[in-house]
Amino acid sequence: MSTYYPRYDEIHFALNVWSEMPGLQALPGLEGQSADIVSAVIDEAGRFASQVLAPLDTIGDREGAYIKDGRVCLPEGWGSAYNKFVEAQWNTVHFPEVIGGQGFATPVSVAVSEMFNSANISFSLGLMPFSGVVSLLAAYGTERQKRVYLPALVSGRWTATLAITEPQAGTDLGAIKTKAEKDAAGYRIKGTKCFITYGDHDMAENIVHFVLARGPENVAGVKGLSLYVVSKFEVDDEGEIGSRNDVQCISLEKKIGVRASPTATMAFGDEQGAVGELLGEENRGLAHMFLVLNRARLNIAVFGLASAENAYQAALSYAQERIQGSDRNGRPCAIIEHPDVRRMLQDMRASTDAMRAIAYYTAGVAERAQREPDELLRSMYKKRLDLLTPIAKGWVTENGFLAASTGVQVAGGAGYLEESRASQYFRDARVHTIYEGTTGVQSMDLVLRKVMRDEGESALLLLNSMLQEVLAYQHHDSVRDEVALLSDAIARLKDATEWILGQGDAQRERLEAISAHYLNFWGTVLGAWLLIKGVVASTATESDLSLANAFVDNKKSAMRYFLVHRLMPACSLKDVIVQGASSITCAKF
C-alpha cells in the first residue's frame, strides 16, 4: 500500500520564507488568516492526504478507471473518499467567502494541493478544473448561472471539466471544430472532445462541462471560439437536476500513468445536440480563459512538485533499506552509503527544494498581484506573475519528471518493475509537462510574450532586484561563496535576455528554437536565488521560525549542491542560447 508523509516542516518553511505569508497576512482581506489558523488547516489537510487519499493510490494505479455496463467507474474506495472530501469542505479552501469559500490565500491552497497531489495524483486531477471554472463563472456568469452552478461547484457536490482538446486541435486551438448553434433552448453543441479529465465518472451526481466551441457566426481561428456550459443533466432555475443531456463518454484512454483519472473522449450532441449556455461574450472564449491560465498552470507546477516529493520519499526509504556492497570497513551496507547513490538522492532533494521554492514564491506573487493596495505595486506583481507562470509550469514539471526518473535509478531493477512505487511515480509524473500547455508552449510564451512583448521590463526588473538582494548577502557566512556564483549566473541570464531583446520578429524561428534553454536557465537561477534566500532566513539570529538544527543543515547542503551541480552547468546556457539556434533551424530531417 502506498504511503505519504506530509512534509509539515518543509511546507511551513515554504509558506513563511518563499510565499512570505507574514507579509501577506497584512494585506486587505487576509487579516483574519493568523498563523494558527493556517497551521490548523495544514495539519488537517496532511491527515486527510495521508489517511484517506494515499491508501487509494496503489489501488488506483492497478485497477484504473474503467467502463462497465456503459458507466464510467472509478476504483474501489474512490467514491467514499470523494464524499469525505466534500463533507470536510476541502474544495472551498481557496474560493472567496462571497461565493461560499473560505477565502484562504493562494499559498495556503498550494500547500493543501501539494499534500493532496502527493498523496494521490489521479484523485487530485479530478479537483483540478474547479479553480478555473469557478473563477470563470464568478467573473462572466449570468445571475442564473451563478445561482445554479456556483454553489454546487464551490462545494464540490458537482464536478467540472474543461473540454478544449479535439483530435485535430491540441496545441492549435484555432483548429477546434466543435460547433454551437443557436435555438429556442439556447445553444446546441455538437462535436467530439478528447483527453477530457474526469469527463465522466460515478463519484458525483452531476458533471458540468466548460466547452470551448465555435460560435454560431462560424468565425475562423481562435477569434471564433466561445465558452459554453454544458451540464451532464439538465438543471432548472433552482439548481434541480432533470433529464440527461445529449453528452456521452464514448471511450476512456489507456494511459501509461494517472490511470485512475478517467481521461475521456466525449461526444457532444450525437443526437439532437447538447443543450449549452453561453458563458461570457460570444467569440471571447479564449480571452476569457486567459483569466484562469496563470492559476491553472501554477496548479500543474504543484503536481510536478508533488511527483518529485513522492519520488524522493520512496527513493530515500529504499536506499536506507536495500543492502548491497560494503562500506569502507568491508561491512555489508545499505546503498545509501555509496557516494553515487547519495549524489542521486541529493539531486532529488535539492531540486525538490528548488521546485517547492519556485511554486510557493509564485503563489505569494499571485496573491500580491490581487491584493496589493497600491496600484503600481499591484501591476508590477501582476506582470511578475505573468513572467513567472511559464517558468514555474515548465521548469517544475520537467524537473519533477527528472526527479521521478532518478527515483527509478535509485531503486535499480526493482524500480523498473511495473508495481514499484518508483515506477508509478515515474509514469504519473510524465504527463505534467504535456497538459495545460506543453513545455514548448511555456518556453515560447516566456520568450515571445513575457520577455519580447514586455520589452524585457519585468524580466530585467526581477533580475536586478535578485542581484541587489544577493549582493546584500555577500558577508553572510553561510552563503558567501554561493553569492559569487549566483551573481555571475544572473549577469549571464541578463546577457541572454538582452540578446533575445536584440532579435527582431524576423528571428522568431531562432528564438523559438532556443526558448526551452532560456526557460531552463531562468528556472535554475530562480531556484538558486530562492534556496540562498532560504538559507539566509533559516540561519538568521532573529529568526522566529524555530527550525531544528538538522533541518537548517539540510537546507544549507541542498543549496550548496544546487548551486554547484545545477547552477554552474546552467551558466553555459547563455552561450547555448546565443549560438545554438542554427544547428536546430538548419537541421534536415
Ligand X SMILES: Cc1cc2nc3c(=O)[nH]c(=O)nc-3n(C[C@H](O)[C@H](O)[C@H](O)COP(=O)(O)OP(=O)(O)OC[C@H]3O[C@@H](n4cnc5c(N)ncnc54)[C@H](O)[C@@H]3O)c2cc1C
Residues labelled as active-site residues? 436
For ligand X, give the closer residue by CB, 170 or 580: 170
- Give yes or no for residue 171 binding ligand X (CB under 6 A): yes
List the grid coordinates of 419: 508495481
CA distances from 288 to 119, 301, 329 (A): 32, 22, 65
- Give yes or no for residue 251 binding ligand X (CB under 6 A): no
Judged by CB under 6 A, the residue of 58, 135, 165, 352 near ligand X is: 165
For ligand X, give the closer residue by CB, 263 or 538: 263
Least separation, in Å, of the C-beta of 264 and ligand X? Answer: 9
Q: Which stretch binds ligand X (CB under 6 A): 51-59, 131-139, 158-166, 472-480?
A: 158-166
Would you say how long the chain is, in residues? 589
For ligand X, give the closer residue by CB, 92 or 265: 265
In the chain, helix, strand, coil percent, each to 5?
A: 60, 15, 25
Is 133:318 a contact under the CB 8 Å cutoff?
no
Q: Which stretch binds ligand X (CB under 6 A): 191-199, 278-286, 310-318, 319-327?
A: 191-199
Q: Which stretch binds ligand X (CB under 6 A): 101-109, 156-164, 203-211, 407-415?
A: 156-164
- Give yes or no for residue 96 binding ligand X (CB under 6 A): no
- Give yes or no for residue 91 binding ligand X (CB under 6 A): no
- Give yes or no for residue 435 binding ligand X (CB under 6 A): yes
Contacts 24+ apart (CB under 8 A), 71-75: 71/202, 72/199, 72/200, 72/201, 72/202, 72/249, 72/252, 72/262, 72/264, 73/201, 73/202, 74/201, 74/202, 74/203, 74/260, 74/262, 75/260
For ligand X, give the closer residue by CB, 89 or 192: 192
Judged by CB under 6 A, the residue of 74, 133, 162, 388 near ligand X is: 162
Judged by CB under 6 A, the residue of 434, 460, 491, 501 near ligand X is: 434
Judged by CB under 6 A, the residue of 170, 186, 412, 456 near ligand X is: 170
Determine phi and psi for 141, rounding to 5 degrees.
-70, 150
For ligand X, give the closer residue by CB, 171 or 464: 171
Least separation, in Å, of the C-beta of 129 and ligand X? Answer: 7
DSSP assignment of 475-533 equals T-TTTHHHHHHHHHHHHHHHHHHHHHHTS-GGGHHHHHHHHHHHHHHHHHHHHHHHHHH
For ligand X, give the closer residue by CB, 23 or 221: 221
- Give yes or no for residue 163 binding ligand X (CB under 6 A): yes
- Give yes or no for residue 510 binding ligand X (CB under 6 A): no
Determine phi and psi for 280, rounding to 5 degrees.
80, -150
Q: Which stretch binds ligand X (CB under 6 A): 105-113, 132-140, 255-263, 414-422?
A: 255-263
- Give yes or no for residue 583 binding ligand X (CB under 6 A): no
Please give the size of the binding site for ligand X, defined by CB under 6 A: 19
- Cβ neighbours, 10 Å, residue 176: 24
Judged by CB under 6 A, the residue of 4, 82, 195, 425 near ligand X is: 195
- Give yes or no for residue 208 binding ligand X (CB under 6 A): no
For ligand X, give the closer residue by CB, 348 or 451: 451
Buried b (16+ CB within 10 A) or exposed e, 280-299: bebbbbbebbeebbbbbbbb
For ligand X, give the closer residue by CB, 161 or 554: 161
- Give yes or no for residue 360 binding ligand X (CB under 6 A): no
- Cβ neighbours, 10 Å, residue 100: 16
Which residues are paired to 244 by β-bridges?
233
Judged by CB under 6 A, the residue of 336, 441, 501, 568 near ligand X is: 441
Amino acid at 58: T
Q: Which stretch binds ligand X (CB under 6 A): 276-284, 362-370, 432-440, 575-583?
A: 432-440
List the grid coordinates of 114: 501539494
Convert 382-448 into a string of H (helix), E (strand) and C (coil).
HHHHHHHHHHHHHHHHHHHHHHHHHHHHHCHHHHHCCCCHHHHHHHHHHHHHCCCCCHHHHHHHHHH
Could you give the angle at the alpha carbon of 46 between the alpha carbons of 152 and 395, nearest 5°? 85
- Give yes or no for residue 438 binding ligand X (CB under 6 A): yes
Judged by the rule CB under 6 A, the positions of this chain that interact with ligand X are 161-165, 170-171, 195-197, 255, 258, 263, 431, 434-435, 438, 440-441
